[in-house]
Amino acid sequence: MQFVLANTAGGSQHIWAGLNKGMICLNARDFAQARHFFAEALACNDDRAWALDVKSFIQQLLSLTPAEQLMFVKRAVAQSRQLKKRPAMDIAFGEEPG
């Protein structure tokens, strides 16, 4: 996870960097770190329509418990793949910390 985070382009004022880094952490079940990067994305000074949609997605995600966040992402991916007429796929998240 650290390698991917270190090599994801964009700083704290880059909405895609914050979203991508947050999703990487969420996938690894590092919910605290995910929250940090999602907060950076929400703080970006970008008010274009697509950026507001991204921020809305993040706000919805952050309103959920960690277990609900994982299900939310699974549903979002399934809906996106269906809209694009792509085959369904199973999403496996990192192992739960023991």
Q: Classify residue 88: in a domain, yes or no.
A: no
Distance of CA 49 to the CA centre of its chain: 18
Q: Are 61 and 38 in contact (CB under 8 A)?
A: yes
Range of the domain at 30: 2-64
- The number of domains in the chain is 1
Q: Would 92 be classed as within a structural domain? A: no
For residue 89, the one-letter residue type is M
| Domain assignment present for 38 | yes
Structural domain contains residue 19: yes
End-to-end Cα, the chain, rounded Å: 17
Note whether residue 73 is domain-resident. no
Mean pLDDT of 78-90: 94
Query: Is residue 91 included in any domain, yes or no?
Result: no
**Residue 28 belongs to a domain:** yes
The residue with tokens 């079940």 is 29
**Residue reference for tokens 């274009």:** 48
Domain-embedded: residue 7: yes
36 compared with 3, residue with greater pLDDT: 36
**pLDDT tens digit string along 40-72?**
999 999 999 999 999 999 999 999 999 999 999
